[in-house]
Amino acid sequence: MSLLNKLRCAFTLGQGLLIENKTLATTDDPISFFESWLSTAKKSGIILPESMSVSTVDHQGKPSSRMVLLKEVNQQGFVFFTNYGSRKSKELEQNPFVALLFHWNMLQRQVRIEGRIERISHEESEAYFHSRSRGSQIGAWASKQSQVLDERQTLVDSVKYYEEKFTNQTIPLPEFWGGYRVIPEKIEFWQGKADRLHDRFVYTKQDNNWEINRLNP
């Protein structure tokens, strides 16, 4: 992060966006609201502002979380990509409900998202897969994500195998790799304030509309 961006982050600490009641009445689209916050985070110089925690629950009700990168957001939901054989994917196939968390510390902002998951289309996954670097495409084939690895050399050998296998050809999308879309049912925006009197607004999906409420900090 450049010195200028560090100074910008320091300057914005604790300031954030003031949302008054009069604004709340016209802020009826949480997706657009999220996009504006994400844009601000990107401009602030925060490293990987698209990083988010993805929390899932297994068949025993035990939660687990990990950081992934948001790759797309639109009115349909929030998209990320992974190996369908990974732990998170197995848990999502058993329980399709998920929680996302974005935390932009220097802006004193966080966004919590709760919803259900669906796989995106093969065509969408394929388009994104081929937009990645060739090394990342090879890595998707080489790594048996979340499975026990006896030693790193095994992974290195797997990478070499697929590099040779796909020499001078387009690397196909693995059938075990692709994207998920989180269809939001609840989105909460949190803005830090002095004396811990924070601003909190929660959007809850009711049929095809969003109900908006202010919460106590």
Contact (Cβ atoms closer than 8 angstroms) between residue 5 and residue 185: no
Active site includes 196?
A: yes
**Phi then psi dihedrals of residue 54, to 5 deg:** -115, 120
Contact (Cβ atoms closer than 8 angstroms) between residue 82 and residue 144: no
- Residue type present at position 151: E
Instruction: Return all residues near 210 (Cβ < 8 A) that are at least 6 apart.
Output: 28, 29, 30, 203, 204
Nearest to 27 by CA among 191, 183, 203: 203
Q: In 143-192, which ranges are continuous DSSP H helix?
A: 152-165
Contact (Cβ atoms closer than 8 angstroms) between residue 68 and residue 134: no
User: Which of the following is catalytic: 87, 109, 116, 196?
Assistant: 196
Residues with a catalytic annotation lie at 196
